[in-house]
Chains A and B, each alone.
Chain A
């Protein structure tokens, strides 16, 4: 008899976990997936592509229904989990149904922050998280609504790009003096800004959103310096918050996220958490890569194999508003480090490698990301780089040729 394993959340982490489980522990668990979004798991990373019209909502589905069926997964989507009864090892869902579990995995993800300010509850204030948001934003863009996106991080840029591409006039306001400050140094951010601006998006930096004006709907966004930006809609994209309510109410220890150990197990035995909702060694990851790594390790653990998660060395490696961006490690380069920089601004290229103690410790790349993974590997492996320093910037193949010579 298979052990009942229940996964709460039907996102990318859940899909990957099922995939990994079928590879390492086929038949050991009877898997049920409970998700509140009313559709099959999809690739959330591609929502901005859907918004931008580069792909369809249909196309971003991770796996067809048959895939789930073939793996014997009980799939309940559009279904909210309401309570975990740790003692009775049951998960309560809508309509007072209960699902017993032997093992429970929380992949509840995160939610966008709604800034606490006057007017934040007006009609026309949205977030950008799931495919329902995308449908709303597409409608806005179709009507050529003036949109203000609050937040110049990855999410905000993606929303702004998608909206602009879909036809809406977009202004992006960002509190900090540069875009994506957690991933980019100043020149990289400046280059990204100029490229994004060329796509027709107005960007205001050092712009602190003070309040939103409007009778019933959004009319203007007011900045702390008094500037008024006329707007029909506002998208908050100023950060995310792990979804921890379910765990917290069940008495499972939480901090910012649901606290897990190196086996991805929460404070409650047999209950695990992975993905954006989890907090491991004090870190909540907001990217898909660590979630996948966690899914792989948890699957091995659940299969009874030796598996321990030591955290992820995160790299940002994606397309932002159609621009390839890579960032990893100490990309600023502080005291005691040196930087090598290649810039070809008109070609949309900026590359910086940070070296400390003869090792690559950080990198930021805009435009040309050909060798991003190699840099990432060099950073992770902490290999001495003195011999390839002269050619490292121009890629692995040149550096290897010179080293061989």
Chain B
């Protein structure tokens, strides 16, 4: 039966992951799942999806979902409570702490995965009515330096370009961006441009990532020297006469200071090469390419932003575009790629501690305007604490109540161990979440509020090119999960702010948000979607992807600043003279390396969603650290083995990947793993909590570190239909697999301990392979004909082939031969298979005999003549006769069956 119910039609929505904001068609299957495909009409992706987006359908299960409100009760256990009780409790406790310690003793920590409407309500509640600006977000870790750089240069947080520029550029410069893995759909778009129009690509990154194509110019610069490179470029542009003197004169100020500063730090190709560690030839090639190519887009991402000089790096890049007037023109623009589906939406509502609302800051006129619009007498009048500082204030006991929504700071923030410890000090720790367990939840939450997840919630998100798209629900709310805006509205009502939070629908919120963006705007602020403030509910439901600004009565506008029009008091852009680049930390003999962190292709953030997908688990299943071969030799670590990476903040144990793509002196480790899915692989715990002075964004990519080999005698894996607990001594990484839960592990404990461990969770139907002398133990238990769980452990060279066993585990039914070979941990494909032995004396199997019969043997004697079977002791002769008889019977019946058909 494959009848699709008529109401199960495709719903247009937007991807849950990165800032590309791809349109998705989700067709629910009526059983809690959905078929996922790219939306051909969406201008971000035109139907394309990356590996993560394509696998969204595998992440819709409810196995780890938080379905009911829960409160920590007297004995410390989380207990299910009614919504009204949970909300009363949260409101009462917040009220109490605000009354006792003041509004700055409370904070919200939000997420770039919240919808704009959720963000809006959170921001309004905290800044407008609680009266504190302690509202920050995980976007602080993501693109805060771009925001700060934009604001310094443009007077507003404006992305000047759009995705079409990637199609129309002749030169694409990627700085600190592994777009091939992190923004794959845009990267594919750039590749099409390369192929069709011959665009060139330059990749600037300390690591040779998969973004670097064979024919691209790769600049593997020293970490933290991007500002020197772009300063050198500015000098080169000035000296080559490529500057757009008219544009500079008409629309900018500060160019001379900026060039002077640039000259002082990278005054020539040679000086630039020296400052960045690049060859003069590569530097010169890049400078010439940039100088000679008017249609140039410089794309930048975490490699630029996640830095203690991130804002300067951004401005060094913007300076080059401003100086050449290559901004806001088709195929010519600086371009910040955002990491989250709605980091941009968060920026628009002002859900950051150093913004007020709707691209307005903490200037007296802005405060006054927002106060009047919100009718908010207690509005916050100064900036709040940015993420890293917010958690430091929690650690110091200054912030006593924290509400985390949809993010996992115990994993993602720098000094994550310190963050986890700080969370334990809170008087009130509220989390709105999808999952019942993650490192942050497990750090001692007092109240858990079940929020709707992607596919259930409805509202808007904004992508990297300022395009607002609807995220639509295509699944029913599971359990008692609620929209975040509803949860906050209910708390606001209980705090006595009901009148300001009487939103009946997400469309109500969107209209107010749009109205605020246009309120007393008159073109003074970039963010204006005033044309949408009167959308009807049905228009909102049907809203097609639309790029802002959408000013009332004005034409749509895809780009900014080609003709100036900056959002400063003089409408001019500012050249910013960056500081001499210097990483905030220094290596020492004890910490001789620098740890770079980042992402891998098929996982996203802390894996709470992508970690559910078997398909995505296949690419890089284990947490690892990448090391240059010379460093590997120097520090005694080998590819495939384990190593301990230590910084002043923490320690991780990771698999070693030796790769010449890594720079000497640097390590790279992905950020995705946490205590919830791996042992000692929470890379955030290694990262130094040093931040950019302007953006507050932490320097996640350059922490001084050391590496040392760590030996595990045994490696192994386990597969199970249910989650399983591992002994504390084992190193474990959990991987989603088809049909259950996979675990890759390493250990030094005795094999007999593993045998007892497995036997304790096994069904009665257990098969075991023991070669304790060879250091091998393997076992599988069965539920009928399928594997229920299995364990393979052995020395590194003999731990079994996880992929082979995974495939067998995925099967509903194992054949006799598959079961016979299962514990070999190897593929039996292509092996001769004689079948069950019939003639013991000559080892002749049933399959072999069957072949002889098919080839014409008509009696036991014929078989004996051919295969010797039955010619020694003769005990198998009765069976041989039976096989001949059965075969004759089958061949007689065959035509009849055919006839019957």
User: Which residues of A are at the interface with B, using a C-beta cutoff of 8 A?
Assistant: 43, 45-46, 49, 54-55, 59-60, 62, 288-289, 292, 317-319, 324, 326, 338-347, 349, 355, 368-374, 389-391, 393-395, 397-398, 401-402
Contacts and interface: CB of A to CB of B under 8 A. Distances in A.
Interface in B782-835: 782, 798, 816, 819-821, 823-824, 826, 828, 830-834
Contact of B770 (A340, A346, A371): A340
B828 A398 contact: yes
A370 B771 contact: no
B769 A54 contact: no
Contact of B826 (A319, A338, A341, A394): A394
B873 interface: yes
Nearest to A402: B826
B373 interface: no
Contacts of B821: 394, 398
Interface residues of B, number: 41
A317 B844 CA distance: 13
B878 interface: yes
B362 to A, nearest CB: 68
Contact of A355 (B764, B766, B773, B878): B773
B840 A43 contact: no
A46 B836 CA distance: 20
Contacts of B820: 344, 347, 349, 368, 394
Contacts of A393: 769, 771, 824
Contacts of B767: 342-347, 349
B841 interface: yes
Interface in B607-664: none
B125 interface: no
B479 interface: no
A340 B878 contact: no
B842 A373 contact: yes
Contacts of A45: 873-875
Contacts of B496: none
B878 A292 contact: no
Contacts of A349: 767, 820
Contact of A292 (B771, B842, B872): B872
Given A341-B768, A343-B768, A346-B765, A370 B774 contact: no
Nearest to B831: A397
A347 B819 contact: yes
Contacts of A341: 768-771
Nearest to B821: A394
B476 interface: no
A389 B771 contact: yes
Per DSSP, are chain A's interface residues mostly helix, strand or loop, or mixed? mixed
Contact of A370 (B768, B769, B823, B845): B845
A397 B821 CA distance: 11
Interface string B836-879: 11001111010000000000000000000000000011110110
Contacts of B841: 289, 317
14 contacts: A45-B873, A54-B878, A288-B872, A292-B873, A324-B836, A338-B772, A345-B767, A346-B764, A347-B767, A368-B836, A370-B845, A372-B840, A393-B824, A394-B824
B819 A391 contact: no
A288 B834 CA distance: 25
B824 A46 contact: no
Given A397-B831, A401-B831, A55 B878 contact: yes
Given A349-B820, A398-B828, 8 more contacts: A55-B881, A326-B840, A338-B773, A341-B771, A370-B845, A372-B837, A373-B843, A390-B774
Query: Considering residues B767, B771, B836, B845, which has the most beta carbons from chain A within 10 angstroms of its beta carbon?
Result: B771
B204 interface: no
A370 B828 contact: no
B776 interface: yes
A43 B873 contact: yes
A64 B764 CA distance: 51
Given A318-B840, A343-B767, A398-B821, A390 B798 contact: yes
A345 B780 CA distance: 12
Contacts of B875: 43, 45-46, 49, 318-319
Given A45-B873, A46-B875, A373-B843, A398 B824 contact: yes
Nearest to B794: A390
